[in-house]
Structures are given as C-alpha cells and as structure tokens.
Amino acid sequence: MDLGLIFSELNNNSEYRFHLAKQEPGGTRPIDVLARSHEEWAGWQVYRGTKKERFVKDKIVSFAQISGTKFLFGGVFDITSRDSKHYEVKLNSQFSELIGRLTIDYQGDNTRGTVFTPDYIFSHSKVSSLSQYSYQGERFTSYDNVNHSFEVMSIVIKNELNDWKVALSSVFGVYLLTDTKTGKHYVGSAYGANGIWGRWSDYIYGCHGNNKELKELYAINTRDYFEKHFKFTILEVLSSSLTPEQVIQRESLWKSKLQTVKFGYNAS
C-alpha cells in the first residue's frame, strides 16, 4: 500500500522529519522500548546530536525498527524546546490510533542514517501491514523457541500477553536462567500456581526469585544487572498433574547434566 494513502499530510519537508530508530549491535531493540513504555519511547526522540541538530523541524514522525527493513510506527512528536544537548518533546495526537499497529517496509539507505526528510521516506517506503491491535510484545510460538532476554520477558509478563500467559500458566517445567556476562547458569523448576508463568513472574518483579546465590548477586549488582544480562529458556515442559517431588526430581537431573551446582548459580 502507498504510504501516501494514510500519511499524505506528513509528506511535508517544511514541517516534519522522520526518525527511524534502529538497534545498536547488542543494544536494546526499539520495538521493546515502544511496547514497554510510552515515556521511555519519547526519550528516544530527545537526543539533539553533537555536530549538528538531528531534527531541524519541530515535528518528529517516529518509527521503531522491528528487523531489517521493517519499522513500526511510534507516533508523531512535537519538539517543545531545545537546548545545546537535548530536546523536550510531547506526543502529538496525530495518527495516535496507529501507534504500534502500522508497519512500513523501508527500502532506502539503511546503514547509518536515522533521520530523513519526508519526501525521501515516501519515495522509498510502502505500508507493509496494519494490525488490528497495538504491538505489546512478541507473540508466543512454542515452548522450544523460548530463549528470551529478561527485557523481552519483562514486557511479556508486565503486559500480561494472553498467548504467553495461557501457554506458560498451563504447564509445570524445568527452566534455565543464563547470565550472558559470565556464562553461568541457574536451573530452576516451576510447579506452583500458574506454572512457569507464575514462577517467572517472581523473577521479573523481584529478579532473584528468592534463590540464595541469585539473591547475593542481586545485593551486589541490583536490578539493572539482571535486566541487561539474564535470559530465560525452558529445558523441559512437564504436566501440571505431576507432584512437586516429581518435578524436583527432573530439576535435579538437569542440574547434574549441566553442572550448575559446581559451575553455576545453584547452591545445591
């Protein structure tokens, strides 16, 4: 679909600049920021630049990179004030109903640049899709595919994404937490109320899940460390009809296989 059919009034070089926010290598994904917090996403629009101003016009049309050439609409922002380093911005109501729903396929320069004139975007982009609902986080695909960062799982659980909640609440299981900075692992099990969902919620809201060595790590490094370096993986999905003792037996087997008592974060 032609971008002009929806955004025709934004194709005005004298008023607007387009911001295609991209992920830095190893950095935070823009779509995760957009899904997590509108205030945090606004913070991605305030950097002025060092050698020259990024936004020379007072209206910013923002997009968050999904991957490759796909970008998700993040809203129109007004620059309300400027200083030597930053802008102050305010979300404009223009097209706010399309935030997190409209995706463009951008075929222009996609190497370093992030700020473009409207006419350049309109001549190098088309509407890729328009979703019924605003993006709130990744969709659940399968238990085997769960290999997600703390940041992504935080969005899933705090937004209570229904497909994830139904899938993870309905099963017990053995899971793996990985510290990507040190390479150390923690094997845990879920067999209480709401299954894996309930257990992982403990980590998202409290980080350490009341585990001895993770509590010690948290006391030293605080929440920021977990958000930056921890990943969630499911090792084994188990029936919710099993007893706690049966689930713990499977957990012990995985600890033995992965040697997480000797080399990881499991205390025993």
**DSSP result, 95-158:** TGGGTTTEEEEE-S--SS--EE-HHHHHHHEEEEEE-SS---SPPP--STT-EEEHHHHHHHHH
Contact 53/64 with Cβ under 8 angstroms? no
Helices (H) and strands (E) in the chain, counts: 10, 11
| % the chain with pLDDT above 70 | 100
User: Mean pLDDT score of the chain, rounded to an integer?
Assistant: 94
pLDDT value at residue 50: 79
Residue 223 — φ and ψ, nearest 5°? -65, -35
How far apart (Å, rounded) are the C-alpha atoms in residues 61 and 198? Answer: 38
What confidence tier does 201 reach under pLDDT thresholds 50, 70, 90? Answer: very high
Q: What is the pLDDT of residues 243-260, one digit of tens each?
A: 999 999 999 999 999 999
Burial, 142: exposed, middle or buried (Cβ in 10 Å; 0-12, 13-18, 19+)?
Answer: exposed
Note the pLDDT tens digit of each residue in 175-199: 999 999 999 999 999 999 899 999 9
Amino acid at 198: G
Query: Which residues are CB-neighbours of 12 under 8 A, at least 6 positions away?
Result: 118
**Joined tokens for residue 243:** 């007893």
pLDDT of residue 112: 73
SS3 at position 68: coil
Confidence band of 84 (pLDDT split at 50, 70, 90): confident
The tokens of 96 are what? 């706010």
The span from the CA of 156 to the CA of 179, in Å, is 20
Tell whether the model's pLDDT for residue 13 goes beyond 90. yes
pTM for the predicted model, two decimal places? 0.81
Q: What confidence score (pLDDT) does residue 246 get?
A: 97
Mean pLDDT, to the nearest integer, of 157-178? 96
Question: What's the pLDDT at 7?
Answer: 96
Tokens standing for 99?
């935030």
Q: Cβ(53)–Cβ(45) under 8 Å?
A: no
Give the model's pLDDT for residue 26: 75
Mean per-residue pLDDT, 218-240: 95
